[in-house]
Structure 1
């Protein structure tokens, strides 16, 4: 096979080019969260807010990259609706939410009960309930409280826990699941 030599491309050069391309592509795969493996090249989030009446249904990640405008919309949607304060939501939490949604194989959007909470809102909620953490991850844009009509709290918690991406709290009495990108842990009943 002297054809490769006639073009100036040896077998060794061809293998080297392939190896270089593989190394170049590796960071995309290395940065993908393990719990989203098999989720495809697109990540989508679907939510609505009973508090504001807003709806969100968008692709926010394509082929290893977050979409800047979509992320901006997610940040706004998950704002503290009481104060209208907006922060950058930790996208690891959004990834956990999206992965859990995919695992449940449903089309229904999440009902977002609480995303970002300002310190003022968190203090107010804490004064009314012993279930609100003083240093809640909600205040850092790293948590969401979610509900689905078509799934039980147990089903939602099981899907979120399967992601091994953060904390999962079951609040059966209030019919919602807390998902965050903090330490992997579970609580509630």
Structure 2
């Protein structure tokens, strides 16, 4: 009986080829089971200054969704100058955590990215604008959550412990950012 045995070198090469082929399968057949919908991070926005709206899945089981992030960056641009920046995606994670915790639907955007020129102009008119604001770095956003009390939204943001939280009850918005954990404005309950 003539039995042929493959040499160790040949079988190792065949295993590598098989592994490469198996690794490529997800690219050829991007199947996502129904349970993957729980990996979908969705946000809805309405910009209070431009009335623009956006409903987008910005993250899924594969990570951040680049076209969605670009659409959010555009929405959150400096409306005074027209400049856009790359917003910190962790800011979107914080908003998603707030939405999940509070049960809200749409975030109203009061302010997001600010160019240095815009920030300096706002600083001249209001002492509540920081000289080195994280808005200029795309790391801060001022929001309301439609149908949800802003004091409770502030409390939820503070409970997350994920960055800075400022509360502006007269203007009825909450500031959240991806900087160090700190709180300012009206004291949480």
With normalisation by structure 1, the TM-score equals: 0.76
2:181 corresponds, among 160, 169, 184, to 184
2:61 corresponds, among 38, 60, 63, to 63
8 Å CA contact 1:93, 1:181 repeated in 2: yes
Is 1:106 the counterpart of 2:120? The answer is no
Alignment of 1:11-30 (within 5 A): none
8 Å CA contact 1:101, 1:159 repeated in 2: no
Partner of 1:157: 154
Q: Distance in 1 between matches of 2:157 and 2:62?
A: 21
Larger Cα-atom Rg: 2
With normalisation by structure 2, the TM-score equals: 0.76
Q: Say which SS state the counterpart of residue 174 (structure 1) adopts.
A: coil
Q: Distance in 1 between matches of 2:135 and 2:83?
A: 12
Gapped runs of 5+ residues in structure 2? 1-36
Q: Distance in 1 between matches of 2:134 and 2:49?
A: 20
Q: Distance in 2 between matches of 1:44 and 1:131?
A: 31
Name which of structure 1's ranges 112-121 and 151-160 shifts more when overlaid on structure 2.
151-160
8 Å CA contact 1:116, 1:139 repeated in 2: yes
What's the CA shift string for 1:12-31, capped at 9, x where partnerless? xxxxxxxxxxxxxxxxxxxx
Which 4+ stretches in 1 moved above 3 angstroms? none
Q: Say which SS state the counterpart of residue 82 (structure 1) adopts.
A: coil
RMSD: 1.3
8 Å CA contact 2:143, 2:175 repeated in 1: yes
Count of paired positions: 150
Deviation at 1:40, TM superposition (A): 3.9
8 Å CA contact 2:104, 2:145 repeated in 1: no
For residues 169 and 62 of structure 1, do their structure 2 counterparts lie closer, same or farther at Cα, with a shift above 3 Å needed?
Answer: same
Q: Distance in 1 between matches of 2:178 and 2:140?
A: 7
Q: Distance in 2 between matches of 1:169 and 1:54?
A: 24
Deviation at 1:149, TM superposition (A): 4.0
Is 1:140 the counterpart of 2:137? The answer is yes
